[in-house]
Structure 1
């Protein structure tokens, strides 16, 4: 009834009676109970009378079930692995505040459950500066001028920020690069300088588009034979898992399109896999793997 009344703003006792299958007498009793929670209404008499929620009042407290409290507590706890977070969220004080208001029995269960349950996320690998400024720029639709350190070079970019997200311990900015008019992903720890301009923009690119399937600009087909251990490793990789295939004989391989610029990253991944994967294409990747293996052989021979 609390949520129903707040959404309606104007209502009658008969509406509440019909909605919640209550007598009119019970409805008036519940309206009095809602006032005790901090939700005050004004009564209007006459033919078009009823109730209206009074403005400028303190919102009533949110009512959580025990299961919802558990979910909220462990969600807050999972954020402690991030040293940087937008708006400087202090997860320690957030947990303390939550524990301060829950009943003693729920607090006891939370502490007991903490000994047997944990939501683990990858720890933040490197510092991510500018999170607050970037988040504010996304909300205000302000164009950014950044000095960005890519794998190959340092360059200045004009970006239209769309949103922030975190993956595998790194913070990313999803933004439209005005120079190429294309939405791209930028590691925030690689942003050396940031300037928020007064220019505003309107974009039709939704934040959810960041999860769209990646389309290589210079596509190359990646093919590799996998052992069972290699399959497991590739399935855990957010870029390669879609390419894992098994045939009727039980053998497995990896087959998907990658961008030519991703070859160095891909080579390092397969170097870690060692004998669990045998890359057969593209030739550029095979050549780079051979060079890396020879470099290691020269170090340890």
Structure 2
């Protein structure tokens, strides 16, 4: 594939018609040369549709093949490691193609680069410290957010299982996947791993905030002040925990949404004797109950 053909792949958009003469004038070559280029792209699988007639031409179909990246060896190695890193994130949207993409990318690399990657893979390991349950709804949610479409959920919350119709504004990952979504005149935050089922509805809403805007100014949720004291070992662990990494002088203070107290108590179990709940009393009680349930198993 020559440079002109690569440039053509980058500039041609799905749905837009063009003629061989327009491309010939753009690249200052003959119409016959352009037609050979287009034939070559079609042979490689690029989805071009030919429209006959006086006003006909060519059109690029949806799901076109993207042009190949032109990278040096270090860039190619870095991209492969990035793809392997993403494989550690559970339920990544469109994640079903992750291993396929990495494998196909790998096989197209020169033999010397593939050998270097094999050596690097024995020296570098990525481990995601995720605490979430498995979910399969991230792709459906992201597509609904892109199309600003209604999403009909069966959702499990602390109050039980319910049916809800929401309008997702996006997804973000912080140990688990979260979906801010418009529901009953305000934006609420939903845990994706608590979604039992999800399907598109018929309605659309085009005045939603962007995810970036919402993250900068999130909707207020009722919060309670949480104060934790850690041992030296607990502080060391907390500094590696995204929830408590700003611990200072063995003490952590912050606001926790009221509906997330159960989740918070469960997470604190992993610290064992290295953390103590100073407040609120309700969180202390929840943690004690969890410890008691654990002890009851050995009676």
Distance 2:215 2:264 in 1: 20
| Corresponding residue SS for 2:199 | strand
Report the CA distance between 1:37 and its aligned residue.
5.7
Query: Is 1:258 equivalent to 2:256 in the alignment?
Result: yes
TM-score, normalized by length of structure 2?
Answer: 0.70
In structure 2, C-alpha distance between the alignment counterparts of 1:147 and 1:285, rounded to whole Å: 28
Match of 1:17 in 2: none
Taking a change above 3 Å as real, the CA distance of residues 34 and 289 of structure 1, as seen in their structure-2 partners, is: closer
Corresponding residue for 2:52?
Answer: none
Return the alpha-carbon distance in structure 2 between the equivalents of residues 84 and 224 of structure 1: 32
Aligned length: 255
Match of 1:173 among 176, 179, 189: 179
1:152 corresponds to 2:159 = yes
Q: Which moved more, 1:135-144 or 1:259-268?
A: 259-268
* Pair 1:107–1:292, CA change in 2 (3 A): closer
Aligned-pair distance for 1:205?
A: 1.7
List alignment gaps of at least 5 residues for structure 1.
1-32, 45-49, 247-251
Cα offset for 1:202? 1.5
SS in 2 for 1:86: coil
Cα separation, 2, equivalents of 1:205 and 1:36: 39
Q: Residues 6-36 of structure 1: CA distance to partner in whole angstroms, max 9, x if unpaired?
A: xxxxxxxxxxxxxxxxxxxxxxxxxxx7447
Alpha-carbon contact 1:163-1:175 (below 8 Å) kept: yes
Cα RMSD of the aligned pairs, angstroms, is: 3.4
Secondary structure, aligned partner of 1:163: coil
Q: Take 1:172 and 1:126, find their aligned partners in 2: how far apart are those partners?
A: 12
* Offset, 1:70: 1.0
1:200 aligns with 2:204: yes
**1:84 deviation in Å?**
4.2
Residues 290-299 or 210-219, more deviating: 210-219
> Please, which of 220, 241, 247 is the counterpart of residue 245 of structure 2?
241
> By how many angstroms is 1:94 displaced?
1.8
| TM-score after normalising by structure 1 | 0.70
Give secondary structure in 2 for the equivalent of 1:93. Answer: helix
Q: In 2, distance between residues paired with 1:206 and 1:51?
A: 43
Indicate how the Cα distance of structure 1 residues 114 and 223 shifts in structure 2: closer, same or farther if over 3 A, else same. Answer: same
* Inter-partner Cα distance in structure 2 for 1:210 and 1:136: 18
User: Shift of residue 65 of structure 1?
Assistant: 1.8
CA distance 1:214–1:268, shift in 2 (3 Å): farther
Contact 2:225 2:255 in 1 (8 A): yes
- Contact 1:221-1:258 within 8 A present in 2 as well: yes
Distance 2:269 2:91 in 1: 31
Select the structure of larger CA radius of gyration: 1
Structure 2 unmatched runs, 5+: 9-19, 42-65
Q: Which residue pairs with 1:182 in the alignment?
A: 187
Pair 1:111 & 2:115 matched: no
